[in-house]
Homo-oligomer: A and B are copies of this chain.
């Protein structure tokens, strides 16, 4: 028997399930007997909780549904694998499960924290002469993994953001100056501004675009921000501003902390941010007297498979397939990457890279892609991001809503 298992970890995306499709199809093509899926990632696997994907994906219609299903079909987790020294039992348990089920390949779809898991398990296998292979499949809406040109999940989120921002601008400009509203849209992105920058993609012949974009790559100057609003209110009938949840002031505080709210902390010690747009709206209303509206795209942006990018879906599938191929060749401790061959026409292939150089490093937007003076994105960013949002995969509607594939 030659079996393979795949798990999903971290925050869900609109296309993480397409990587499962890529894994399943390639594994079957290469003659794997069983393609298993961990239920709720490694946290579930440790408890012996996994399913046989044949039960769902032998039916080709279900594969088409899975490509259109957002979030983690297998269930996700935010489990931080302990270091071997502190918890050897967990490692023994994992490898015992792999041996018992004749699983020679372990694939893990996720972002920084998940690549850390791949690194630790492949290191353990190497140190203990275990035959199993561990491969990372990149996935993060944040687009902050290094080495890879971009991350599956980003393109669909960016497409949702660009589309929604365009519709928000349309809505906000429906009244004249007498009802001018400052609309501040909060977009996900803790340390990197890739998602907030995608607001720039709304601009076109039929849309003047957002009036400013604030990214965590630069510091946020409240006084300058208020000056900008005070300037725009004379020039425009509508003001729409995109702000990354992670923007910080010069003294290192998150903008949402300007209201001194307590911040919860997740399992990895990351601060749970929210309310940055609301905070800024309160300040703008108080300081300028203008009507304001805070919009938080929240989980809508990462779950919106109804307007996912076809390019993103196809690339998510490709990285899943490549991970299987590499493991099948005997490679381990690597993450699949996306390699841009050219911009126009856009061409992208897959590659692999040692996961040790990827884990826990974050890729930010190059400062030279940001028009710092006008708080806009330069053409370099548009050239980079535009191809990633191209194409659509029409949902399969039933009773007026898109249908999904779910575990029974």
Interface positions of A (Cβ within 8 A of B): 8, 12, 40, 43-44, 69-72, 75-78, 159, 162-164, 166-168, 170-176, 178-179, 183, 201-202, 204, 206-207, 264, 278, 291, 293, 295-296, 298-300, 302-307, 309, 386, 389-392, 394, 397-406
Contacts and interface: CB of A to CB of B under 8 A. Distances in A.
A176 B44 contact: yes
A75 B176 contact: yes
A171 B71 contact: yes
A291 B298 CA distance: 15
A82 to B, nearest CB: 16
Given A166-B401, A307-B306, A401-B389, A206 B406 contact: yes
A63 B70 CA distance: 33
A295 B295 contact: no
A249 B279 CA distance: 27
B403 A204 contact: yes
Given A76-B175, A293-B298, A404-B207, A305 B399 contact: no
A77 B166 contact: no
Contacts of A305: 167
Interface of A is mostly: mixed
Contact of A162 (B173, B202, B400, B403): B400
24 contacts: A8-B174, A69-B170, A70-B167, A75-B174, A75-B176, A76-B175, A77-B175, A159-B401, A162-B400, A163-B306, A163-B402, A166-B402, A166-B404, A168-B299, A170-B303, A204-B403, A206-B404, A207-B406, A264-B291, A295-B299, A307-B307, A309-B400, A389-B400, A392-B397
A299 B176 contact: no
Contact of A171 (B43, B44, B168, B299): B299
A6 B164 CA distance: 28
Contacts of A202: 401
Contacts of A166: 401-402, 404
Contacts of A391: 400
A303 B171 contact: yes
Contacts of A302: 171
A408 to B, nearest CB: 10
A170 B40 contact: no
A387 B167 CA distance: 25
A81 to B, nearest CB: 15
A162 B401 contact: yes
7 residue pairs, one from A and one from B, having the closest CB atoms: A389-B400, A167-B303, A171-B303, A71-B170, A72-B174, A12-B174, A171-B299
A170 B70 CA distance: 7
A245 B296 CA distance: 16
A170 B75 CA distance: 10
A141 to B, nearest CB: 11
A171 B70 CA distance: 7
Contact of A300 (B164, B392, B399): B164
A330 to B, nearest CB: 32
